[in-house]
Amino acid sequence: MPILVVGAAGYIGSHIAHALVERGESVVAVDDLSTGSSQRLGRLPLHRIDVTSAEAVGALSELMLEKQVDGVIHLAARKAVGESTREPLLYYSHNIDGVVNVAAAMAAAGVRQVVLSSTAAVYGESGEAPLTEDAPTNPINPYGRSKLVGEWVLGDSAAAYGLRAASLRYFNVAGAGDRALADRGLTNLIPLVVDAAQRGSAVEIFGDDFPTPDGTCVRDYVHVADVAAAHLAVLDRLRNAREPHRVYNIGGGRVERSRSGGRCPAGELPSCRISDGVQAPR
């Protein structure tokens, strides 16, 4: 049955779309191309819809019915921490309205399974290592707060409308399954470092007094192909899920402690968080 991928032309979304195609699934790709690129989709048809718009619910529900969509993977959101502190209303409207409209369209079209790409930033500056799904959520910026509210919207919608939903929380994604799918956004650390290397310039490091072996932060990175695989695995599990909404942490599976057991603050790049507070879903 077809799977609708919202944000399919983005860095992570395109990897998920191609992973679905590779295993024989039919993909319905949705993106407004505000940050994504249609070139990442190759021959896969693109349905250009702004899921935050007033027309989104009708357009999405019609598309779901037309294509007989069986499940949704929702990735479309704004994600720059610094921008979220400068433009909090932009983040609350985009990241929450998008979830509201996708859930409303699913309820109208009778689609039951949905996986939300969330963020481990919902945990804030937790002192726990490793982080588990039961850790307290206390996001410290509008980006993290907007994503947490999106999770609440999805959970409440699942309970009310008979959906089966999951929210995936992870920190930093890196790598590429193919050169055409590479991350080109300079708000992410690895593209920023590569760009600096190509220009022959230095990368500025913010902070050298963190309680880590070299004084700088340690981050948890997960390869984008593994993140895509996690979305697919959770989507498959939803078909037999009993609970309306469940949270999964996605991470590299390693815990690196600093000499004093301290933490790096979550914040705008290139500030960092201690490596791996999160575990891959089982």
Write b or e for each residue in 22-52: b if 16 or more Cβ atoms lie within 10 A of its Cβ, otherwise e: eeebebbbbbbeebbebebbeebebbebbbb
Residues 6+ apart with CB under 8 A from 159: 244, 245
Tokens standing for residue 102:
């996708």
Nearest Cα residue to 90 out of 104, 99, 79, 103: 79
18 in Cβ contact with 182 (< 8 Å): no
168 in Cβ contact with 117 (< 8 Å): yes
Q: Which of 91, 92, 143, 170 is catalytic?
A: 143
Nearest Cα residue to 5 out of 104, 82, 64, 75: 75
CA triple 131-134-137, angle to 5 deg: 80
Nearest Cα residue to 14 out of 231, 276, 192, 191: 231
Q: How many residues does the chain have?
A: 282
- The CA distance from 37 to 15, in Å, is 12
Single-letter residue type at 75: L
- The CA distance from 140 to 172, in Å, is 17
Cis peptide upstream of residue 142 (ω within 30 degrees of 0): no
Can 248 be counted among the known catalytic residues? no
Catalytic residue annotation = 143
